[in-house]
A and B are shown apart, each in its own frame.
Chain A
Amino acid sequence: MKTIDQLKNLRLMALLFAAIAIVGCSDDDDAAPEEEEEVEVITNVSLVFTNTTDPTDVVTASAVDPDGEGVQDLVVDPAGITLSVNTTYALTFVIQNALDPNDVEDIGEEIEDEDDEHQIFFGFTDGAFADPTGDGNIDMASNPINYEDEDSDNQDGSGNPVGLETTWTTGAAPLAGGNFTARLQHQPDIKTATTGATDGDTDFNLSFVLNIQ
């Protein structure tokens, strides 16, 4: 009887040791997640107006959200955009994620790569420009905008505008304290010739003061 008890005690001990042995061999590592090329966040957007006849005449207006997804507010260039009368400008964009100052991501490239899913829409003070006329295509997608680019792999068979390159011609009339809005819409699988500024999701939506003098 005693030997049986001892045998049972031995088994009990064996079980305990087995449990401890298993516990002892769990692995551990302390690696941080690998660095990612953050393409979701946009912190800096610059509108670059270049005089088509004088490439040294460049007007830039920027909007910066210094902490990206943080709660800090967006800072829009208070000076706004100041253009000359009777001049034609080519508008291009610099779109970046500059959260990591040592590794600034060019989101503009990302958008170019997926130009069939993106379009920039514009809105401005009615009659601010001689060409395009009107108030832009944010309120109505069919309103005129001089798109100088089109996408490659589009949904409805013909090249649709993207808006990374546009041209703008000011008239003779000056303007003070007007408005200029650029809005990038992400329209995966839905972008067509007729989709507008409320279709899809907004990547940026920025308003600047517009002066023409």
Chain B
Amino acid sequence: MKLKLLLAFFFITYVVSINGQDRPCSFSASGQVLDVDTEEPVPNAVVKVEGTKKYTTTDSKGYFEINGLCSKQNTLIISCIGYADSTKDHEHDSAMHFYLTEEVTDLEEVIIQAQRNKEEGTETIAQVTVGKAEIVSNPTRSLAAVLAKEQGLTFISTGNNVQLPVIHGLFGNRILILNNGVKHGFQNWGTDHAPEIDIASANSITVIKGAAGVRYGPEALGGAIVVESNPLLLNNPLYANIGTGYQTNGRGYHTTFEIGHGTEKWSYYANGNYTRIGDRKAPDYNLTNTGKEESAFGLGVLYHKDEWDFKVQYSYIDQNLGVLRASFVNSPEALIQAFNASTPEPADPFSYDITAPNQTTQHHLAKAEVNWWYSDTGKLTLIGGIQLNQRDEFDVRRNIELPIIDLDLLTYDYQLAWKHPKWHGLNGLLGVQYFSQNNDNNPGTQTTPFIPNYNTDRFSAFGVESITFGKNTFEAGLRFDFETNDVRGRETNQDIFRDNYSFTNFTASLGYVRRFSENSVFRTNIGSAWRTPNVAELFSFGQEGFRLIYGLLRFTDSDGDFPIDTSEVIALDDSNVEPERGFKFINEFETNKNGNSHKLTVYSHFIDNYIFDRPITVSGSIRGPTTAFIYNQVDALFLGADYSWKRQWTNQISGTFGINYLWSRNIGENEALINQPPISTSYGLEWNQGKIWKFDSSKWTIRPSYTFRQFQAPRTVSIESLVDGSEMITSDSEIFDFTDAPEGYFLLDLSWTFGWKNLSASVTAQNLLNSRYRDYLNELRFFADEPGRNILFTLNYKFNSK
């Protein structure tokens, strides 16, 4: 038999504790082995787990399954007459690339596509994962922008650098970001604070679209984003990746590196990233002061001994983000002028310089994790994480060199989770968690702190259990949280105010999965979640950019000349303010037949005491009349659906159609909500040429997308009409916005990625047509267009010692 080059595709589905099959150990692997040349299944290939007596052979269709694996990390040996033996190392929940030594010829790539294991306790919730390949091809984008291509996800932003992920219309404190197993502890308030995550070092990013409050705790009300770094594989030969690139818009450049090695007992990695981008350019003008500089560094070590894993990780990120200079206006006259300006002022020539307004943040994360497989089916995991987030924000003002916001946030997170052995058919995870945050204002800003000092302490316990009967899996979870908050702030006359408040909450979830066949699955989940209003929502007071804003505890409804009264700080216990409580019902149906795959997600989300900020009036001040905003608490309903349809048109060409729809409303007062994502739709066409000419791989992607105008936006009341008194607002008036929602827009993206030996490269054109547009979810939409065409070049070199 002729020797063939083998390129095998494995779909490895690891089923962790939550399944109903009876076996001594809880990991399993299943997949299919295909010959890449003929795309035929490879039958009778021997798949063996190294160091065990476990082995199996692929069936006539190339499928295999090995159950009862006790270790998280295994080495698979795959062999077949006619093909070279290959030894593969992997972890149970990661997507990886491997190299295979072919017996006679040179190195060949084997791709193992591990279908990601669902996070424990979220098996019944719709979710989506973005893999390494997608992350690597978007090195200069933010976490939120990379995720925004997925159905149901978008981002809300303050300019081009500050972008927050939005899941089904919710963002900020309603989306929990889990970075390396601990909740990312950052200044998570407003739309001008984005998570400081170095995505270049991420291995995968999973978005859980339902209420994941039981598993992750408060704030996972609208969903969770799980960022996984290097999986620290054992038995992994020394590897190194170096990447660099350039982008035309903003003349940005970046460089990344990663090095790692896994032996039988040890594994380590180190990675780093540096990005610098100058002023972006809209089609007609420069966007002055929109540069960004970011450096990041991370390392991790794993020690594996018998049934123990010890893992230590550290990461650091330093960001300096410019905010469009033209967006800084502090009087309505200037605001009206800026609204009506054809070119934002100033629009200076290109520069890499970042000056006020800007934000600098240093974020340190240190984490230790111990996993102990204390019995064949039981596991204990202990995680301890410490994070320090130091943030300085600068505004155009007298004392421009002093930060106007200077905060240190220290976060501790300890979790102990017990995956219990199977008990009466039940698999489950029980855990306790202690979470604490300490926020301090550093003195010397020469302005009253916008956010008070506070300490939050939270004790939680949760349990998630599942049971499987044939094709059906049921999952149920319950969580208990007790949280105390101790707040100390300053009023603008420098008087101290203090507040203490505690909440006790129960959260529950119920889910069901039915696997109709190999190709179709239905999952449904109803989950509750809650969160304490954050300090900005409660205690904000005064000038923030072009507006005055008042937190829930800083104003009362009044019957006077103005709709509100801001003369005193109210204690939370004396107010009507309640924690936000959400109930999300999410259903997903997925089917994959004859080259067509459909995925439909339908959800309804009721949020009791939903908190959001909105314009309320124009208030007289020494600067002239100023726009005033308040935080409001209402009952809100969100109904929506995401749909995607992927079709394999030919062997090489596939297309994916996607559409997202969200209807949302303040049902308490039967009026519109503000800052909700409009309908968007896209079609991505992919032409995978495989080997062509001298390239080992070549792939073209073209992706037109259209974002509609937000027709559910509130009515418009102009600043002029409020200043001249032709429009009167009282506390009963209907919600309004100062400008109309921008028109819909069409964007076209094009990319080509190709590989040659150890090199891979890409050329990507974003906004290829150089469209002029403004995005409803960009807070700076009043002032300037979005960036125009950007062409991004990336080059990656991958070295493996094997």
| A interface size (C-beta, 8 A) | 56
8 Å CB interface, A73-127 against B:
73-74, 99-101, 103, 110-111, 114, 117
Is A39 at the interface (CB under 8 A from chain B)?
yes
Beyond the given pairs A32-B452, A73-B561, 18 more chain A to chain B contacts, judged by CB atoms under 8 angstroms and listed by A's residue number, are A12-B380, A16-B416, A26-B412, A32-B498, A33-B488, A36-B449, A41-B448, A41-B492, A68-B492, A70-B542, A71-B566, A72-B562, A72-B619, A73-B619, A110-B398, A201-B334, A204-B622, A204-B623
Is A34 at the interface (CB under 8 A from chain B)?
yes
Cα(A99)–Cα(B562), bound, Å: 21
Give the contacting residue for B446; candidates A30, A36, A100; CB below 8 A. A36
Q: Are B488 and A198 in contact (CB under 8 A)?
A: no
Q: Which of B103-111, B160-168, B437-445, B461-469 contacts A (4 or more CB under 8 A)?
A: B437-445
Is A22 at the interface (CB under 8 A from chain B)?
yes
> Which residue of chain A is the closest to B617 with respect to CB atoms?
A71
The proximity string for B residues 537-571 relative to A, scoring 1 for CB distances below 8 Å and 0 otherwise, is 00001110000101000010000011011110000
Is A35 at the interface (CB under 8 A from chain B)?
yes
CB A37 to nearest CB in B, in angstroms, measures 6
Q: Are A71 and B562 in contact (CB under 8 A)?
A: yes
Is B399 at the interface (CB under 8 A from chain A)?
yes
With contacts A36-B447, A38-B446, A99-B494 taken as known, whether A18 is within 8 angstroms of B382 at the C-beta atoms is: yes
Is A43 at the interface (CB under 8 A from chain B)?
yes
Q: Are B494 and A65 in contact (CB under 8 A)?
A: no
Cα(A188)–Cα(B399), bound, Å: 10
Is B346 at the interface (CB under 8 A from chain A)?
yes
Is B257 at the interface (CB under 8 A from chain A)?
no
Is B620 at the interface (CB under 8 A from chain A)?
yes
Cα(A158)–Cα(B553), bound, Å: 50
With contacts A69-B542, A186-B397, A202-B624 taken as known, whether A33 is within 8 angstroms of B490 at the C-beta atoms is: yes
Cα(A26)–Cα(B567), bound, Å: 36
The proximity string for A residues 166-200 relative to B, scoring 1 for CB distances below 8 Å and 0 otherwise, is 00000000000000000000101010000000100
Cα(A30)–Cα(B416), bound, Å: 28
Q: Are B453 and A32 in contact (CB under 8 A)?
A: yes
Q: Are B328 and A201 in contact (CB under 8 A)?
A: yes
Most chain A beta-carbon contacts within 10 A, residue among B374, B561, B622: B622
The proximity string for B residues 316-333 relative to A, scoring 1 for CB distances below 8 Å and 0 otherwise, is 000000000000111101
The proximity string for A residues 5-38 relative to B, scoring 1 for CB distances below 8 Å and 0 otherwise, is 0001001100110110011001111111111111
Is B375 at the interface (CB under 8 A from chain A)?
yes
Counting residue pairs across A and B whose Cβ atoms lie within 8 Å, the total is 174
CB B288 to nearest CB in A, in angstroms, measures 11
- Residues on A with C-beta less than 8 A from B440 are 31, 33
Is B396 at the interface (CB under 8 A from chain A)?
yes
Is B663 at the interface (CB under 8 A from chain A)?
no
Q: Are A206 and B494 in contact (CB under 8 A)?
A: no
Q: Are B398 and A114 in contact (CB under 8 A)?
A: yes
CB B323 to nearest CB in A, in angstroms, measures 15
- Residues on A with C-beta less than 8 A from B380 are 12, 15
Q: Are B397 and A22 in contact (CB under 8 A)?
A: no
- Residues on B with C-beta less than 8 A from A45 are 622
Q: Are A23 and B619 in contact (CB under 8 A)?
A: no
Q: Are B622 and A32 in contact (CB under 8 A)?
A: no
8 Å CB interface, B129-173 against A:
none
- Residues on A with C-beta less than 8 A from B330 are 201-202
CB A139 to nearest CB in B, in angstroms, measures 13
